[in-house]
Amino acid sequence: MGREKSSKKGGRNASSAPKDDIVELGLEEAIDLIGKKNTKLVWLGSEPEDVISMAIDVPKDMIVRIAPEDIIYYDEKQMKKLNNHVFAGYQDSTSKFVIRFMKNKCNLEAASLKGGVNDIIGDIL
C-alpha cells in the first residue's frame, strides 16, 4: 500500500549535482597571492581597510573595499579591474555570489577567501 522511497532526490543522485567552480583559498594561500601581479584583496564588508588589514594581517595598501551591491552596476571596464583578485566578505557566500556574477557578465575569474573573514577571526566584526 505504501510507496517505496527512492534513494534519489528530485530524480538526480547526489553525484550528478553541479560542482562549484569557484577557486577558494585559505588565508595563507590568499596572502601568498596578494601583491603578486597587482592582485589585491577585495573586501566586501563595511569596515575600513585598516581594520581588515590588522585582523587578517594583510597590508592596507593591498586591500580595496567595495560594496557588493555597487559591483552589480559596474560596466565591463570597471569590472575588468577586478579580474583575478581575491574576494572576501564576512562569510564566503557574498564573495562567491559576486564572483559568479562577474563570470556570468564578463567571463572574469577571481578567488574567494574560504569561509570569509569571520571564519578566520570569529564573529567580532
Q: Domain segments of the chain: what residues?
A: 22-121
Identify which has the larger pLDDT, 16 or 83.
83
SS (H, E, C) 88-113: ECCCHHHHHHHHHHHHHHHCCCCEEE
Is-above-0.75 flag for pTM? yes
The pLDDT tens digits of the residues spanning 2-19 come to 444 444 444 434 433 345
The CATH code for residues 22-121 is 3.40.250.10
Q: Where does the pLDDT of residue 35 fall: very low under 50, low under 70, confident under 90, or very high at 90 and above?
A: confident
pLDDT of residue 123: 65
Quick check: helix, strand or coil at residue 63?
A: strand
